[in-house]
Amino acid sequence: MRPKLTIPAQIKDMKEAGISFDIVTETEAKRFLEYNTYYFKIKAYAKNYDKYLNTEKAGQYINLDFAYLMDLSKIDTYLRKIILKMTLDLEHFLKVRMLADFLMVDEDGYDIVHELFKMQPDLTRAIEEKSNTSTCNELISKYKDDWAIWNVVEVMSIGQFINLHGLFYSRNCFKDSYANMLLPVKMIRNAAAHNNCLINRLRPPYSRDINASYDLRNELTQRVKIPPKISEKKLAHPAIHDFAVLLYLYSRVVPNLTREHTYSEIKDLFNVRMLKHRVYYAKNEVLKTSYDFVAKIVNFYC
């Protein structure tokens, strides 16, 4: 078991691990750890850096200053905020599209919800339990025994909605439903919503195996002009893959007027803010190549 470390002890621990304080002073680092983040979280970004293996510095980080960790943590925060905005937009307009498609088919709106509840017996209770905490408690009380597709979507989590969305499009044939691409959206939305680090480990081993869809791979190869081998390598990273899927779907589902402001924010983040301290990462090939890959996709869509 690791001992509890005071902030001065955290600084000492980092220095012993080879992290320097040449750009940011120890006093500035202490202030950042006290008011902006915490040790376990910011130290996670060090996983993007190599350690010495066979020298007297074995086990210490190579070319890592605390300023680099600060910058990565800030960039990650900005990225999570944009992802949350994008996933909220996407979820809304997926509902708009599904309910518009629903009006064109022979569905009464009730049978499909009954089928979903049969497939997922715990779903009814999960929705009704929200009545104690959700702002939708009046809606739940009114419709809890009489749910239809057009009102149940108002009280569903993104994961529950994705299941309903998949069921609807499996029962009805429409072009470009994107139902098979929504799990990555849920994954990255939940990570952002829970303030999980996204760019803390940009090299293997990764947290899960990725099987990128043919549509996404084809898009990156044919339209974005990224060589297949590079796409395959970079899309193996879950956060990079999920963000690429989010950009792909956002460009197809969300209307132009809604997209414009978000695209401006994304471009500013990738083309201005992320490059503010590019010198920090000049010797880190993993960070540089990962940035180049995602920035190319961003600038294609935005």
Give residue limits of the domains in the chain: 7-71, 106-171
Q: What is the pLDDT along the chain (302 residues), one digit of tens a residue?
A: 889 999 999 999 999 999 999 999 999 999 999 999 999 999 999 999 999 998 899 999 999 999 999 999 999 999 999 999 999 999 999 999 999 999 999 999 999 999 999 999 999 999 988 888 778 889 999 998 899 999 999 999 999 999 999 999 999 988 888 998 999 999 999 999 999 999 999 999 998 999 999 999 999 999 999 999 999 999 999 999 999 999 999 999 999 999 999 999 999 999 999 999 999 999 999 999 999 999 999 999 99
Q: Nearest-CA neighbor of 147 among 170, 173, 126?
A: 126
Q: How far apart are CA 200 and CA 44, in angstroms?
A: 6
Q: Nearest-CA neighbor of 164 among 230, 224, 117?
A: 117
Tokens at residue 244, please? Answer: 């690429």
Is pTM beyond 0.85 here? yes
- For residue 20, the cross-strand partners are 65
- For residues 198 and 73, is the Cβ–Cβ distance under 8 A? no
